[in-house]
């Protein structure tokens, strides 16, 4: 998938980019980048002109990718992934696919992936006729791209997807009664799969990370001087814009449909689009209030009670469990999390580790470890991602400005989390900070 991320940057720049520019944008070491570029050239997806790499418009395969990116920009990387190809081949080769009920973890993963595919290809929030036309184009383009010849009719395919939607709708939220997920989470806990702190204790930043940390330190000083040179009213307006941008992006990562301008209008004037649901609006106001409240706190306030308060801000008027640890089992994508009975134990360990390291570790390293361990525990039924990102900013607030985890780069964000890689997460976070304050 890395090569497609590289390709997506070349799609955005028709005039092309150099290897050095691509390495900086994708946060990829040059040797690895050259491997990805070689694979793209072998596939005929890019060409090279001097030192510049350019997406190849003459390639039929490239044209299909460009079309997919234009009509499904948010789902583009998911749609062209090997996992999606595998799912399409399963759908294309069978009139009916057995839905996992209380089966193995692998069966549960397939069920969830297929349901997500259904959402990606069929149920967009647009008028049905336009949706079907657009999604038919996506489906046909994908089948051509992967060279898949379906052995089912369109009607059979749609009938299967309807059955899948009904099956998924009957599954209880939180999957407390789902034996497969319960078993997976219990096994994950016993094997220590939800415990990151041992890995964190052994972590030593390499030279590349140290250079990045020094760089953001200088950027922070420069930005602080810049802010001091501005009139107070201008500084206040910049802070408001930063809040609006943060609220939009952190909610967008979780699927909130409001655009950046709609978020700003709702927070400032109370106006909202007709299509917005009550949950969309509650998420917007709740996150804005949580952001403001967290800005008034400091790392010295950080403890278990504060985390619950943050969750209450995020989930109030949305969930009855706002501010309370989860009572049911849940997963992050395909990854098991801490069983509910062990959440308090894991959170106590996290708080102990924090107190032992808060005065010795660099704030970005400290915040990254806490963020990673918190996400692995997933202590609440919902709202964990929003709380994790607020915690990260709270822990760097004494020395740094807030980082906005951007929806446009959420694939890199998810990859860093799923890989349990401190270096990858730090490179991602420091790169964001550099882009936002340089």
Task: Indicate whether 182 belongs to any domain.
Answer: no
**In what helix (H) or strand (E) does residue 55 lie, and over which residues does it extend?**
strand 52-55
Task: Indicate whether 176 belongs to any domain.
Answer: no
Q: How far apart are CA 202 and CA 212, in angstroms?
A: 20
| 54 lies in the same domain as 68 | no
The angle, 0 to 180 degrees and rounded to 10, between the axes of the packed helices 278-295 and 384-396 is: 20
pLDDT of residue 167: 52
Q: Residue 350 sits in which domain range?
A: 187-437
Task: Indicate whether 181 belongs to any domain.
Answer: no
| 67 lies in the same domain as 20 | no
User: Quick one: the chain helix, strand, coil %, rounded to 5?
Assistant: 65, 5, 30
| 232 lies in the same domain as 330 | yes
The angle, 0 to 180 degrees and rounded to 10, between the axes of the packed helices 410-418 and 422-437 is: 150
Q: How far apart are CA 430 and CA 212, in angstroms?
A: 7
Q: How far apart are CA 308 and CA 324, in angstroms?
A: 7
Angstrom CA distances, 47 to 16, 18, 30, 62, stand at 9, 12, 18, 11
Task: Indicate whether 165 belongs to any domain.
Answer: yes
Token output for 230: 């501005």
Per-residue pLDDT tens digits for 36-88: 888 888 888 888 888 898 888 677 877 777 777 776 776 777 777 777 777 77
| 373 lies in the same domain as 409 | yes
CATH number of domain containing 349? 1.10.3290.10
| 397 lies in the same domain as 307 | yes
pLDDT of residue 164: 54
Count CA within 13 A, CB hemisphere, residue 367. Answer: 25
Task: Indicate whether 180 belongs to any domain.
Answer: no
CATH number of domain containing 6? 1.10.10.10
Q: How many domains does the chain have?
A: 3
| 7 lies in the same domain as 118 | no
Quick one: 422 exposed, middle or buried, by C-beta within 10 A (0-12, 13-18, 19+)?
buried
Task: Indicate whether 247 belongs to any domain.
Answer: yes
pLDDT of residue 124: 41
| 191 lies in the same domain as 291 | yes
| 349 lies in the same domain as 223 | yes
pLDDT of residue 136: 62
**How does strand 17-18 pair with strand 52-55?**
antiparallel
Regions of the chain with pLDDT less than 50: 96-108, 111, 118-120, 122-132, 168-177
pLDDT of residue 158: 58
Q: How far apart are CA 412 and CA 426, in angstroms?
A: 11
pLDDT of residue 24: 83
pLDDT of residue 209: 92
| 237 lies in the same domain as 98 | no
pLDDT of residue 201: 86
73: helix, strand or coil: coil
Per-residue pLDDT tens digits for 253-291: 999 999 999 999 999 999 988 889 999 999 999 999 999
Q: Point out the domain boundary residue: 171, 206, 232.
A: 171
Best CA proximity match to 55, nearest among 10, 21, 20 = 10
| 194 lies in the same domain as 159 | no
| 248 lies in the same domain as 393 | yes
Task: Indicate whether 177 belongs to any domain.
Answer: no
| In 171-277, alpha helices (H) | 179-190, 197-201, 207-228, 232-253, 260-269
Q: Point out the domain boundary residue: 43, 58, 73.
A: 58
| 331 lies in the same domain as 274 | yes
Q: Point out the domain boundary residue: 171, 202, 233.
A: 171
Q: Can you say how many angstroms the Cα of residue 370 is from the centroid of all Cα atoms in its chain?
A: 17
Task: Indicate whether 179 belongs to any domain.
Answer: no
Place of tokens 């994790």: 388
């Amino acid at each position: 998938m890395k090569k497609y991320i590289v390709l997506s940057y070349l799609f955005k720049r028709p005039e092309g980019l150099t290897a050095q520019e691509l390495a900086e944008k994708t946060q990829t070491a040059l040797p690895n980048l050259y491997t990805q570029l070689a694979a793209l050239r072998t596939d005929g997806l890019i060409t090279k002109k001097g030192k510049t790499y350019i997406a190849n418009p003459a390639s039929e395969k490239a044209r299909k990718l460009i079309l997919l990116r234009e009509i499904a920009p948010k789902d583009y990387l998911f749609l062209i992934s090997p996992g999606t190809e595998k799912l399409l081949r399963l759908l294309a080769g069978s009139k009916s696919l057995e839905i996992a009920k209380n089966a193995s973890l692998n069966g549960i993963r397939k069920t969830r992936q297929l349901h997500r595919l259904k959402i990606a290809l069929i149920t967009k929030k647009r008028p049905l006729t336009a949706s079907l036309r657009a999604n038919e184009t996506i489906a046909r383009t994908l089948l051509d791209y992967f060279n898949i010849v379906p052995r089912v009719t369109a009607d059979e395919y749609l009938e299967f997807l309807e059955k899948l939607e009904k099956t998924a709708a009957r599954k209880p939220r939180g999957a407390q009664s789902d034996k497969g997920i319960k078993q997976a989470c219990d096994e994950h806990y016993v094997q220590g799969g939800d415990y990151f702190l041992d890995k964190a204790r052994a972590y030593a930043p390499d030279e590349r990370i140290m250079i990045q940390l020094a760089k953001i330190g200088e950027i922070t000083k420069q930005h602080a001087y810049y802010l001091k040179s501005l009139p107070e009213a201008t500084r206040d307006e910049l802070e408001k814009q930063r809040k609006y941008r943060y609220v939009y992006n952190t909610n967008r990562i979780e699927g909130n449909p409001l655009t950046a301008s709609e978020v700003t209008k709702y927070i400032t004037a109370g106006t909202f689009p007709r299509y917005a649901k009550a949950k969309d609006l509650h998420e917007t106001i709740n996150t804005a209030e949580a952001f403001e409240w967290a800005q008034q706190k400091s790392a010295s306030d950080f403890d278990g009670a504060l985390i619950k308060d943050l969750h209450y801000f995020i989930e109030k008027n949305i969930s009855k469990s706002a501010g309370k640890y989860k009572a049911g089992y849940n997963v992050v994508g395909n990854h098991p999390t801490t069983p509910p009975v062990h959440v308090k134990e894991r959170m106590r360990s996290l708080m102990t580790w924090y107190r032992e390291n808060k005065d010795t570790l660099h704030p970005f390293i400290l915040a990254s470890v806490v963020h990673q361990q918190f996400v692995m525990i997933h202590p609440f039924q919902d709202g964990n991602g929003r709380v994790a990102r607020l915690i990260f900013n709270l822990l760097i607030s004494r020395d740094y400005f807030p980082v906005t985890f951007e929806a446009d780069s959420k694939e890199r964000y998810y990859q860093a989390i799923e890989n349990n890689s401190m270096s990858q997460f730090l490179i991602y976070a420091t790169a964001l900070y550099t882009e936002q304050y340089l």
